Amino acid sequence: MGIVERIKEIEAEMARTQKNKATEYHLGQLKAKIAKLRTQLLEPPKGSSGAGEGFEVTKFGHGRVALIGFPSVGKSTLLTMLTGTHSEAASYEFTTLTCIPGIIHYNDTKIQLLDLPGIIEGASEGKGRGRQVIAVSKSADIVLMVLDASKSEGHRQILTKELEAVGLRLNKRPPQIYFKKKKTGGISFNSTLHLTHVDEKLCYQILHEYKIHNAEVLFREDATVDDLIDVIEGNRKYMKCIYVYNKIDVVGIDDVDRLARQPNSVVISCNMKLNLDRLLAKMWEAMGLVRVYTKPQGQQPDFTDPVVLSADRGGCTVEDFCNHIHRSLVKDVKYVLVWGTSARHSPQHCGLAQMLEDEDVVQIVKKKEKEDGGGRGRFKSHSNVPSRISDREKKAPLKT
């Protein structure tokens, strides 16, 4: 029997089993069995990278965004509108057969947008090009799930299930469970609060299913069996997702209003160019990019060419910023001056551990170098309230 058939069989058994206190251990065990099979299903065939022909696109720019959706929801139309790169669009399904990259220029950064073939129910089990599409979307920083506003609202759920089946967790944070395998000592099970979904016996049973007999487990929240399995599997990818309802030109205002109020959602029309700026703003926010402008001593910062940092890609400290400029820079740094929202006063003398925020201005003061007129600059604030560098300040000359 193939892996997919075995998953189906266990799912059928779960559906037959009534949910109650007596069956919860058995159901937990079945969930773990399915999770293990799904992980097996994801292992790429020997000698292949997992992406597949036409799907290997080199990363480019400051971040990567994947367009995921059913066929003909308007993914390619959207790529063409946002990037200027043409991706074939047509009224028939599966127009797009490979991965087509484009670049969005936004806030002085470059963001790579990937158009992908439509995926369908069963994609996670290999239907259509589902496996390749999902492999590529895992390489992205965020996902735009494109939905047709005129179609069933169930589509969002079906797609979310497909993505969850391959280990993607959308708009969730990792469960607050500490888990560490040990060589000896048996299993120690603890929690910092009263648990309502999982008890010691259930936890033992799940671990047993994974043949883990020595481990430390500490629940820091009232997590579920599924959360525990996620932590044990350890291969989950937590990503932000924006639900993009396209084609609002063909639905009534009441529907538009309702969809627009869903969490993490934005309603658009490619055909009528409606709300695309809102989509870009949401996308930008979800990516959490941090633009840092360098101010050379005695000169103006260059406000057109930021160093772009991200918590997910290498971090946002002063040290990360320095490493971005040059690997050997850190050892020469005496301290830095920081203007902007991360500074408690402007400018603030900071060390390498300081966390930078979007639109901060940084001047590096090297060892054996005299500092610039720190504190006398235009950015000197008169209160202790941190302020964002305004557009007006960006344009005005800076006297230091």
Ligand X SMILES: Nc1nc2c(ncn2[C@@H]2O[C@H](COP(=O)(O)OP(=O)(O)OP(=O)(O)O)[C@@H](O)[C@H]2O)c(=O)[nH]1
Q: Which of 39, 95, 150, 214 contacts K ion by CB under 5 A?
A: 95
User: Per CB under 5 A, which of residues 251..280 are in contact with Mg ion?
Assistant: none
Q: Phi first, then psi: what are they for 247, rounded to 5°?
A: 70, 35
Q: Are 242 and 265 in contact (CB under 8 A)?
A: yes
CB of 69 to ligand X, least distance (A): 6
Q: By CB under 5 A, is residue 246 in contact with K ion?
A: no
Match 């490619």 to its residue by tokens. Answer: 270
User: CB nearest K ion: which residue?
Assistant: 95
3-class secondary structure, 218: strand
- 29-58: b or e for each residue (b if 16 or more CB lie within 10 Å)? bbbbbbbbbbeebbeeeeeeebbbeebebe
Strand 109-115 and strand 100-106: the pairing is: antiparallel
Among 38, 55, 96, 101, binds ligand X (CB under 6 A): 96
- Among positions 83, 96, 265, 354, the unique one binding Mg ion when judged by CB under 5 A: 96
Which CB sits closer to K ion, 69 or 377? Answer: 69
Q: Which is nearer to K ion, 96 or 354 (CB)?
A: 96
Q: Which of 26, 94, 174, 190 binds ligand X (CB under 6 A)?
A: 94
Q: Binders of ligand X among 50-69, rule CB under 6 A?
A: 69
Q: 112, 124, 246, 363: which one contacts ligand X (CB under 6 A)?
A: 246
Exposure on the CB side of residue 1, measured as CA atoms within 13 A: 9
76 binds ligand X (CB under 6 A): yes
**Closest among 325, 321, 326, 328 to 342, alpha carbons compared:** 321
Closest residue to ligand X in the complex (CB): 118
Nearest to 145 by CA among 240, 254, 51: 240
C-beta of residue 82 within 8 angstroms of C-beta of residue 93: no
Among K ion, ligand X, Mg ion, none, partner that 386 touches (CB below 5 to 8 angstroms by kind): none
Between 35 and 149, whose beta carbon lies closer to Mg ion?
149
- Binding residues with ligand X: total (CB under 6 A): 24
98 counts as binding ligand X under rule CB under 6 A = no
Tokens encoding 325: 């400029």
Q: Does 76 bind Mg ion (CB under 5 A)?
A: yes
Q: Judged by CB under 6 A, does residue 396 bind ligand X?
A: no
Q: Which two tokens stand for residue 364?
A: 């590096």
The percent helix, strand, coil of the chain (3-state, each to 5) is: 30, 25, 45
Judged by CB, which is closer to K ion: 95, or 107? 95
Among 236, 247, 282, 295, the residue binding ligand X under the rule CB under 6 A is 247
CA-CA-CA-CA torsion sign (54, 55, 58, 61): positive
Smallest separation (angstroms) from ligand X to the CB of 270? 4
Interface with ligand X, residue 93, by CB under 6 A: yes
Q: Identify the three-state secondary structure at position 234.
A: coil
Give the footprint of ligand X on this chain (CB under 6 A). Answer: 69, 71-77, 89-91, 93-96, 117-118, 246-247, 249-250, 269-271
Give the footprint of K ion on this chain (CB under 5 A). Answer: 72, 95
Give the footprint of Mg ion on this chain (CB under 5 A). Answer: 75-76, 95-96
